[in-house]
Amino acid sequence: MKFLLSAVVAIAAFPFAVHAQDLDPNPIVLHAAHILDVAAGKVLSPGEVLIVGDRIREAGQQVQHPADAQIIDLGDTTLMPGLIDAHTHLFLHPGAEDLQTVEESVPQRVLQAAAAAKADLFAGFTSERDMGTEGAACADVAVRNAIDRGQIPGPRMRVACNAIDILGGHEDAIGYNPAQHVLSNADYANSAGEIVHVMREQRKGGADFTKIYETGQDVLIGDTFTTPYQYTEAELTAAVTEARRTGSKVAVHCTGEPGALFAAKAGVASIDHAYQLSPETMKLMREKQIYAVPTFAIVEYFSQHPIYSGQGARDQQELAYHAAEFKKQLAAGVPFAVGSDVGPFPHGTQAREFELMVQFGMSPADVLRSDLINGARLLDWADSIGQLKPGFYADIIAVRGDPIADISALRHVAFVMKEGAIVVRKKQAGAENNQQQKP
């Protein structure tokens, strides 16, 4: 798997083993031509952020410059919060499908997941919600913990272990010799009691939240979209009740009705994919602040890189259908978060999702608020990530260009800081001051 990282230079000599504030307690001032005010949806000029240890002390057009501060001039870039991807798969890579659990060992997949985490972080994604390992059980917990301990580079993670699915359901390994008993990529649960049992097992294994497959195969003929639901409203309610008992959340893979209505009534945290949402579902989502996570990028990718004959045309049609429904969802006031479903397409390239959301009708300012403010809420880090505010984690990126004027600026990440440690600094980003770079 290629991560397209050749352009990345001047990586700080991996301050991962020890956090930056332990190596060097000196404050840092980042200076750039511009800064994004996410809540206001505005770019201001110039921009500065004062960082002490792993936290932001001050951010705005001008901040204090303490006498012992290291000043880093990032030149003609825009400072903004690190990006959030609310739908990732660190344990997937292009070309891997149902047989990944047969062909690849879990240790092999863990190593690939570590590389994926690094690629995502280097592309500016400092926080992610990983939507299931697809057959590697709770191996994502080890990856999340290694990142948190500073042992490997990667975004701060919310992880789900395996997703939960019915026997013979959307993520089961169907179509193989039954005598081989090819395992599902998800954990089986066929009743409310079994769902709760699996959730407790996953929680014991270290999961932060639960992912459930609520719909199966999608059929789109003309304008008629159908997909079978997998769990009843009562079963999803049992899952949400169990999650709430432990302060956790449930997210559903759900492309359409009636599964989406069951999920909204049950009170899930997000409906991912959400190609089709009925007026009643949209109203409930607005009232309960249930986020839709469109994941356009994956469908576009498969429309261009089909893995079976006919998939290109099918996914193109699905993307067009979803784009038309997305406009209705925007008009109905459905709240959104941004997730790309990266994994089946190369990690580190998922900024494409922002461009597609704009292309299909959302303003850049709203896409950024959906990603950073709603995403932080969805990941339960509303008070510590997603905005450049005093007391928040110093998860900061600098991009070339103005993302409000042209969202594709998010593809051009010149600088990445996570928790006060510099992860990426491309030569062009204030090259004149490279000698001041933190070791």
Sheet of strand 55-60, all strands in order from the earlier edge strand to the far edge: 55-60, 47-52, 28-32, 70-73
Helix/strand/coil for 245: helix
Give 131 or 368: the residue with its C-beta nearer to Zn ion: 131
Least spacing, CB of residue 294 vs Zn ion, in Å: 12
For the bound state, the minimum distance from the C-beta of residue 347 to Zn ion, rounded and expressed in Å, comes to 13
Neighbour count for residue 62 (Cβ, 10 Å) = 12
Nearest alpha carbon to residue 12 among 423, 430, 434: 423
Query: CB 131 → Zn ion: shortest distance, Å?
Result: 5
For Zn ion, the binding residues in 217-236 under the rule CB under 5 A are none
Beta-bridge partner residues of 378 = none
The C-alpha atoms of residue 428 and residue 406 are separated, in whole angstroms, by 20
Nearer to Zn ion, 251 or 410 (CB): 251
Q: Rank residues 36 and 86 by Cβ distance to Zn ion and give the closer one.
A: 86
376 belongs to the binding site for Zn ion (CB under 5 A)? no
Q: From the CB of 342, what's the least distance to Zn ion, in Å? A: 9
Rounded CA gap, 354 and 296, in Å? 9
Contact present, 133 and 91 (Cβ < 8 Å): yes
How many residues make up the chain in this entry? Answer: 439
Q: In the complex with Zn ion, which residue's Cβ is closer, 64 or 217?
A: 217
Question: In whole angstroms, how close is the CB of 37 to Zn ion at the nearest point?
Answer: 31
Contact assessment for residue 165 and residue 121, using Cβ atoms and an 8 Å cutoff: no
Does 341 engage in binding with Zn ion (CB under 5 A)?
yes
> Residue 16 CB, nearest distance to Zn ion (Å)?
27
Interface with Zn ion: number of residues (CB under 5 A): 2
Q: Of 71-79, 126-134, 220-228, 393-401, which part binds Zn ion (CB under 5 A)?
A: 126-134
Nearest C-alpha neighbor of 58 from the set 416, 438, 396, 427: 396
Task: State yes or no: residue 367 binds Zn ion (CB under 5 A).
Answer: no
Q: Choose between 235 and 341: whose C-beta lies nearer to Zn ion.
A: 341
Give, in order, the Cα–Cα distances in Å from 232 to each of 178, 235, 258, 279, 292.
Answer: 27, 5, 9, 19, 20
Per CB under 5 A, 164 contacts Zn ion: no
- Taking the CB of residue 5, how many other CB atoms lie within 10 A of it? 15
Stretch that binds Zn ion, among 70-78, 91-99, 130-138, 394-402 (CB under 5 A): 130-138
Q: Does 131 bind Zn ion (CB under 5 A)?
A: yes
Contacts with Zn ion by CB under 5 A lie at 131, 341
